[in-house]
Amino acid sequence: MRYLLFQAVDIAAERFPDANAIQYTGQCLTYAELSTLSSQLAQVLIKQGVSRGDRVGIYMNKGLESAVAIYGIMKAGGAYVPLDPFAPIKRIDYVIKDCGIRHLISKPAKLDSLHQILNADSPIEHIIGLGAQEGLKVNSVSWDEVSNASERLPSLSLTEQDLAYILYTSGSTGMPKGIMHTHRSGLSFAEWGATTYMLAPEDRLSNHAPLHFDLSTFDFFASSIAGATTVIVPEAFSKFPANMAKFIEEEKITVWYSVPFALIQMMQHGKLNARDCGALRWILFAGEVFPTKHLRQLMSMLPKVKFSNLYGPTETNVCTYYHVDKIPDDTDETIPIGIPCANIEDLVVDLDDTVVSRGEVGELLIRGGVVMKGYWGQPEKTRSSFFRRVVFDQFNDVFYRTGDLVQLDENGNYRYLGRKDRQVKTRGYRVELDEVEVALLAHLGVEEAAVYTIPDGQGSNLIEAAIIPKEGTDISESELVVHISKRLPAYAVPVKINIVSSFPRTSTGKIDRRELQSLAIEAKNE
Amino acid sequence: MDRKTLLADFIKTEIIRNRNAQLDESEDLLGAGILDSLSILKLVAHIDESFGIEIPDEDVVYENFHSLKAIVDYLQKFP
């Protein structure tokens, strides 16, 4: 019986021991090897004191070790916490302290950053993936030593309700927040994905998304359920459309999953049409709206491929989906986000939490196996993110409030209309505009700050900001960029920071961000 | 100024935006997280504007853009 995420790997190792589980550049790990190595890593972690529920960080560029780390941590009873290898040290440091990470899985290439992370008050006690000779002040074990450990799967009393992974995402209070998923919520999504897209051992799935991005859970977990191969797109390639298109051809990818931006880039700059994508069965996309005119073009370029739009905040993995039919030539109407996945109940409510009539606009609420456990260390935020529907005495249904405004169309598909709050997507990345404002306001020379989006002309958004400097201070845009880059990942750093002496205001004196946005769009179009 | 200096200046001021003043010619621009998909487009547009070199899409690849040295070496195709 499979009720823990890593059991999928161990089952595949029995059924298809020599099949490739993970591939990175020329190297592979078979299911038997992945199963053994992850058990060995778990043994090492347990010896170092990891116990059930402990958070273990993964801090390295992607590679075969990423899969070993994910499954090894879970086999030790821990929850894996992927740390963005490109994020500023301050942010990494915050996440490590926020969820109390004592163990880190890494690689020698990260040594410089590790020296900065291991500051005086860092809770890190053990690092795995580096030899002891590297001169770090904490206990460290090399990957070679891991492969000499006991191959026995640790025997622990884990259940599907145990914590499996925590994904950190932008937080409106100015600090990232950790979304906690259990084995059940991860499996619910992966099992639905493996069934819906009929994944088979012959399949070769791409892994384009970074580990801290929830799309990656499909690439690893749905694939292992099917005994298929996950082919990791090297991070450097994922920035170059021509490299990505070549990757699809050369690696004979059968299922590609990414944000729309990567696909649009491959189509416009990657010569995707000149590539042999004959092996490709499915293109799955999520994270952002796919502009219809680009999607139509991509679908006509790849007529044999099926397309599916997956929707869901990280808090719910994926909760609705839409298989895209042929798009009519005469309309650029946005495609729907579709219908709820299996084992999910959907509800649309108004501002008073009253269920709206069918077809009316409201916030989408989701109940079911895929929903997160809560936000790490934020019981209040967790409470307010759930809606309880009383069924009868002491028995409530618990729904997650997505914050997304939707409307059911005449065909019974949901359409996404926008956000209730100030969360935005920029090329697939989720950013709370308030977090960017807080980061700007943290600069001593900033009196007021306003952050807003402008269209990037590709169907997505770019982030722009305006600030009013404190009286008597002389402040430059580049100084602010330096300041903010120490706090936020690169994609959240505004492409432009305007330094102004006043803001447009609403009648109540609030900053009129909408007006700032219109002015910025005008300025850009001039 | 030669192409290398001009490109280094552009990368420092417009892409790294002065976050880190050091830029070694062999620095791994991708591994260090300096270049992302947005800044690659910016860089390609800049090369077109300032040197009049229109780089074909199929040449905008990791192999030609992984370091300042790789870019300059690649651009030697266009004297």
Confidence of residue A137 (pLDDT cuts 50, 70, 90): confident
Distance CA A86, CA A58 (A): 13
Same-domain pairing of A413 and A427:
no
Residue A226 lies in a domain: no
Last residue within a domain, chosen from A132, A156, A181:
A181
Interchain pair B37, A427: CB under 8 A: yes
pLDDT at B21 over 60: no
Give me the pLDDT at residue A134, please.
Answer: 61
Average pLDDT over every residue of B25-52: 88
Judged by DSSP in three states, A33 sits in helix
- Selection from A275, A323, A329 nearest residue A301 by Cα: A275
How far apart CA A263 and CA B38 sit, in angstroms, is 14
- What pLDDT score was predicted for residue B15? 85
Q: Are residues A411 and A428 in the same domain?
A: no
| Chain A closest-CA separation from residue B22 CA (Å) | 14
Q: What local confidence, expressed as pLDDT, does residue A231 receive?
A: 98
From residue A81, alpha-carbon distances to A101, A161, A214 in Å are 9, 17, 12
Question: Are the C-beta atoms of A46 and A81 separated by less than 8 Å?
Answer: no
Of the residues A117, A146, A181, which one is the last residue of a structural domain?
A181
Annotate A49-102 with DSSP letters as a single string.
T--TT-EEEEES-SSHHHHHHHHHHHHTT-EEEE--TTS-HHHHHHHHHHTT--
The answer to whether residue A29 scores a pLDDT higher than 90 is yes
In a domain, A311, yes or no: no
Task: Look at residue A358 and tell me if it is in a domain.
Answer: yes
B36 interface with A at CB cutoff 8 Å:
yes
Question: What residues of chain B lie within 8 A of the CB of A482, using their CB?
Answer: 17-19
Q: What is the mean pLDDT of residues A429-438?
A: 93
Query: In chain B, whose CA is at the least distance from the CA of A109?
Result: B31
Query: What is the average per-residue pLDDT within A311-334?
Result: 94
**What residues of A are in contact with residue B18 (Cβ under 8 Å)?**
478, 481-482
Same domain, A38 and A158: yes
B31/A236 touch (CB, cutoff 8 Å), yes or no: yes
Smallest Cβ–Cβ distance between A242 and the set B19, B35, B61 belongs to B61
Q: Which of B9, B41, B60 to mutate to test the interface with A (most CBs of A within 10 A)?
A: B60
| pLDDT band (50, 70, 90) for residue A406 | very high
User: What number is the average pLDDT over the span A498-508?
Assistant: 89
Specify the number of domains making up chain A.
3
Region of poorest pLDDT, from A16-25, A215-224, A402-411, B32-41: B32-41
Write out chain B residues lying below 8 Å of A234, CB-based. Answer: 62
Q: What is the pLDDT at residue B19?
A: 63
For residue B20, pLDDT over 60 is answered with: no
What Å distances lie between residue A331 and A261, A292, A328, CA to CA? 21, 8, 6
> pLDDT of A51-108, one tens digit each?
999 999 999 999 999 999 999 999 999 999 999 999 999 999 999 999 999 999 999 8
Asked if the C-beta of B22 comes within 8 angstroms of chain A's C-beta atoms, the answer is: no
Cβ of A239 and B17 within 8 Å? no
Chain A interface includes B18 (CB < 8 A): yes
Verify whether the Cβ–Cβ distance A235 to B30 is below 8 Å: yes
DSSP 8-state class, residue A255: E
Asked if residue B1 has pLDDT above 80, the reply is no
Q: Are residues A429 and A474 in the same domain?
A: yes
Hey, are the CB atoms on A235 and B35 less than 8 Å from each other? no
pLDDT at A133: 59
- Is residue A64 located within the same domain as residue A104? yes
Q: Which of 1.10.10.10, 3.40.50.300, 3.40.50.1970, 1.10.1200.10 is the CATH number of B3-75?
A: 1.10.1200.10
Mean pLDDT throughout A454-478? 90
* Per-chain mean pLDDT for chain A: 94
Residue A48 placed within a domain: yes
A437 and A412, same structural domain?
no
**Least confidently predicted of A170-184, A204-218, A265-279, B13-27:** B13-27
Q: Which of A360, A391, A419 is the last residue before a domain boundary?
A: A419
Rounded Cα–Cα distance for residues A192 and A185 (Å) = 11
Residues A357 and A430 in one domain: no
| CB within 8 Å: A427 and B60 | no
Q: Looking at the complex, does the CB of residue A94 fall below 8 Å from at least one CB of chain B?
A: no
| pLDDT for position B18 | 64
Identify whether residues A28 and A120 lie together within a single domain: yes
Does residue A218 fall inside a structural domain? no
Instruction: Measure in Å the smallest separation between the Cα of A140 and chain B Cα atoms.
Output: 23
Residue A27 sits in a domain whose CATH number is 3.40.50.12780
Confidence of residue B2 (pLDDT cuts 50, 70, 90): confident
* pLDDT at residue number A448: 93
- Cβ <8 Å between B37 and A239: yes
Is any Cβ of chain B less than 8 angstroms from the Cβ of A491?
A: yes
**A298 lies in a domain?**
no
Same-domain pairing of A415 and A465: no
Whether B18 sits inside 8 A of A482 (CB atoms) is: yes
Q: Searching chain B, which residue's CA lies closest to the CA of residue A265?
A: B37
Contact assessment for residue A241 and residue A266, using Cβ atoms and an 8 Å cutoff: yes
Q: Is A490 on the interface with B (CB under 8 A)?
A: yes
Answer yes or no: is A443 within a domain. yes
CA distance A13 to A20: 10
Within-domain flag for A514: yes
pLDDT of A460 higher than 90: no
A41 and A135 co-located in one domain:
yes
What domain range is A395 assigned to?
Answer: 342-419
The answer on A488 and A413 residing in a single domain is: no
> Could A239 and B66 be called an inter-chain contact, meaning their C-beta atoms sit closer than 8 Å?
no
Residues A32 and A148 in one domain: yes
